[in-house]
Amino acid sequence: MKLSNRYNKANILTSIVVLVITGIIYYVVIHFILTEKLDRDLAVEENEINQYVNTFHKLPLPASYLDQQISYKTLSGIISEREFLNTIYFNPKERENEPGRSLITVVHLDGKTIEVTITKSRVESEDLIRIILLITLGITVVLLLSLLLINRFVLNRLWRPFYSTLNRMKAFEVTRMDTIEQEPTKIDEFNELNKSVNAMAERVRQDYKELKSFTDNASHEMMTPLAVINSKLDSLLQTESFTEQQGVLLEDIYHATGRLSRLHQSLLLLAKIENNLIPDFQNIELKEMVEAKSRQFQELLEKDRLILTEDLVPVEVKMSRYLADILLNNLLSNAVRHNVSGGYIHIKLDQQRLTISNSGNPGHLQTKIFDRFSKSVDSEGMGLGLAITKQICNLYGFRIEYREESGEHVFTVYFSD
Amino acid sequence: MKILVIEDEQALLESILAYFTGEGNICEHASDFAAAYEKISLYSYDCILLDLGLPGGEGLELLTKLKQLKKRDGVLIISARHSLDDKLMGLDLGADDYLVKPFHLSELKARVSAIIRRKNFDGDNVILFNEISVDVSAMKINVKGNQVILTKKEFDLLVYFLSNRNKVVTKNAMAEHLWGDEMDLSDDFDFIYTHVKNLRKKLLEAGAADYLRSVYGIGYKFGDI
């Protein structure tokens, strides 16, 4: 829920409750005051009648009163209490029934007890109450509407710098060196937010830069001693005074340094792909490339007596030639490496996908095969080949999938998601 | 041939010098930018091995200077930077080849030999070794007047051996030379054996002496008996 919505909700709910309560109080109080006033008028009337009776010893004529109706009734026996009550009476002037307020009282004239009912119209006071109620309601509606409008336009405008900062933060990439620009605002909180965000971005970028240059330097520095070891090994080999046993040791050292340098190159390559530092982007004729690659693998295939079958159609994809080469290399190496002697490899290429399936041992690979340094126990690789393959696919929006069915391992690269 | 090695890493420099010296090769060396610049402006070399990260300057600048001096020395860049940009820039600036550290000395030698062959024998690109003559551009091998028919891989292997004559060449280096180091090959290079065996057989059948020897199971040596 958005902050403004939440705020709106609380605001409007409170306003409605307060306004309704105010309306009710208004209504009750005004009603009370008006009834009180009517009652006082009726009491004044009663007084006048009493005075008239006392002075003239007769009842005033009902018709002599304009605003109110008076009726008399001679009582015998039960004497009712003096009381005020609301009634409906017929107003002869307006020729309709109207709500009224009555005072029933008793006058004594010549030993007779006469009940006097004085009725006054309540229409005007009812009208007044209705008008007051309408005005209150009107104000309520206007207030709510203006609150909504304020929230809608003013709040939205107020929050705009916040959202623009938010969007820039979302688009923030540590590898790109642009600053998070701010929308000019006079609001202190947003200015502070912008300042903090920029400071944070700067810090992140600085850390990233340092880390990157550290990695770069470390890898370059590592390459040099590795090159020295390699060259010294080559030189050592030329001295030619080794026993067979020393030869084996030398071979092991060769293997280890070879692996180390390959590992190192793979890690560098991974970092480069992740940072999208491989710029050469072109149309690649994949069919030709696959054919060239399978020729390159000929000796490896023969060694394990693997049979390679191909089902290729011309396909053009947009990617780096260098990375396309590595992608095919890794997939094919994998198919050769995790194969069985006398097995097969099948490469199928069409407009949507490249599929490489090969025979192998069932249940050979784990589910995390695309993770770095994940490899099967008997694998000779470093566990980076497929991670690199996956990264290359990610870079170009390809999707790579692996499945295994009863000893057949299938890697499929879909050229679109 | 006359070679200049520009490399600031002393240990690596020594190894390269030791590997290249002999067989009529003259090797000179420079360890920083100033010394290298002085040498390239004063003398001419068949091939210059250039390290890119040098104390006192950027190796690529030397390439530009070399061009300004209108020299036709062959240049092989050796760099720890495995960067396509550097490679393309180096080749654009007139370098003949680019080799990434770490490398096998035998690979370095093969590449330097190839550069020198291209520079010195324009169109007439022939390697001679005793009774064997190899025409690299025409891909023809002649032993005592007999034509030897080799596959592409066997031919590349022979040229590689001839560039590294009298040196022990590891199977690892041979595999990387023939199949490329991007291939992520397994550590088992036994499949090389087939090619070496076939090459040796064909040369012997054509009447050449048996110049190939296996060394400790690590590699092979092609050279005088």
Q: What is the DSSP letter of B198?
A: H
| Shared-domain flag, residues B28 and B82 | yes
Average pLDDT, chain B: 86
- Planar angle of CA A314, A316, A322, nearest 5 degrees: 115
| Shared-domain flag, residues B34 and B107 | yes
Q: What is the DSSP letter of A96?
A: E
Q: What is the count of structural domains for chain B? A: 2
**Pick from B64, B86, B120: which residue ends a domain?**
B120
The answer to whether the CB atoms of B217 and A230 lie below 8 A apart is no
Is A399 within 8 Å of A417 (Cβ atoms)? yes
How many Å apart are CA A262 and CA A381, to the nearest integer?
10
pLDDT in tens, B150-180: 888 899 999 999 999 888 998 888 888 888 7
pLDDT in tens, A271-292: 778 777 777 788 989 999 999 8
| Shared-domain flag, residues B176 and B99 | no
Average pLDDT over residues B182-208: 79
pLDDT in the model for residue A82:
81
Average pLDDT over residues A301-307: 85
Average pLDDT over residues A321-335: 88
**Pick from B60, B89, B120: which residue ends a domain?**
B120
User: How many beta-carbon pairs below 8 A join chains A and B?
Assistant: 126
How many Å apart are CA B76 and CA B41, to the nearest integer?
17
pLDDT in tens, A70-114: 888 877 767 677 888 888 888 777 778 888 888 888 888 777 788
Q: What is the DSSP letter of B181?
A: G
- Any bridge partners for residue A283, and if so which? A318
pLDDT in tens, B23-75: 788 999 999 999 999 999 999 999 999 988 788 888 888 888 888 888 888 89
pLDDT in the model for residue A103:
87
Q: Could you give the 3-state DSSP secondary structure of residue B136?
A: coil
How many Å apart are CA B148 and CA B159, to the nearest integer?
14
Q: Which amino acid is at A225?
A: P
CB-CB neighbors (< 8 A) of A379 in chain B: none
pLDDT at A364 over 60: no
Nearest CB to A296 within list B106, B168, B179: B179
- State the pLDDT confidence band at A354, using cuts at 50, 70 and 90: very high
How many Å apart are CA A361 and CA A381, to the nearest integer?
17
Say if A248 is an interface residue toward chain B (CB within 8 Å).
yes
Q: Could you give the 3-state DSSP secondary structure of residue B84?
A: helix
Is A309 within 8 Å of A347 (Cβ atoms)? yes
| Shared-domain flag, residues B131 and B109 | no
| Shared-domain flag, residues B80 and B136 | no
Say if A227 is an interface residue toward chain B (CB within 8 Å).
yes
B-interface mutation test, from A223, A231, A301, most B Cβ less than 10 A away: A231
**Complex ipTM more than 0.95, yes or no:** no
Residue B184: CATH number of its domain: 1.10.10.10
| Shared-domain flag, residues B141 and B201 | yes
pLDDT in the model for residue A194:
86
How many Å apart are CA B214 and CA A145, to the nearest integer?
96
Of A412, A400, A303, give the one whose Cα is nearest residue A357.
A412
pLDDT in the model for residue B160:
93
Q: Any idea of the CA torsion for A296, A301, A307, A313, to the nearest 10 degrees? A: -20
Say if A216 is an interface residue toward chain B (CB within 8 Å).
no
Q: Which amino acid is at A42?
A: L
Burial class, A392, CB count within 10 angstroms (exposed 0-12 / middle 13-18 / buried 19+) = buried
Q: What is the Rg, in whole angstroms, of the alpha carbon atoms belonging to chain A? A: 49
CB neighbours of residue A196 within 10 Å? 11
Q: Which two tokens stand for residue A329?
A: 């290399």
pLDDT at A63 over 80: no
**Pick from B60, B91, B120: which residue ends a domain?**
B120
pLDDT in the model for residue B158:
93
How many Å apart are CA B8 and CA B203, to the nearest integer?
42
Q: Which two tokens stand for residue A387?
A: 């991670």
| Shared-domain flag, residues B78 and B163 | no
pLDDT at B81 over 80: no
Q: Could you give the 3-state DSSP secondary structure of residue A77?
A: coil
Of B37, B2, B36, give the one whose Cα is nearest residue B20.
B2
Average pLDDT over residues A360-364: 74
CB-CB neighbors (< 8 A) of B103 in chain A: 227, 230
pLDDT in the model for residue A69:
80
Instruction: Show Cβ contacts of residue A21 under 8 Å, excluding neighbours closer than 6 positions.
Output: none
pLDDT at B83 over 70: no
Instruction: Identify the domain containing residue B176 by its residue range.
Output: 126-222
Instruction: Show Cβ contacts of residue A171 under 8 Å, excluding neighbours closer than 6 positions.
Output: none
Is B178 within 8 Å of B156 (Cβ atoms)? yes
The answer to whether the CB atoms of B215 and A240 lie below 8 A apart is yes
Q: Tally the C-alpha atoms within 13 A of residue A44's C-alpha that lie toward its C-beta.
A: 10
Q: Which two tokens stand for residue A84?
A: 């005020």
Q: What is the Rg, in whole angstroms, of the alpha carbon atoms belonging to chain B? A: 18
| Shared-domain flag, residues B101 and B169 | no
- CATH architecture of the domain covering A282-414: 2-Layer Sandwich (3.30)
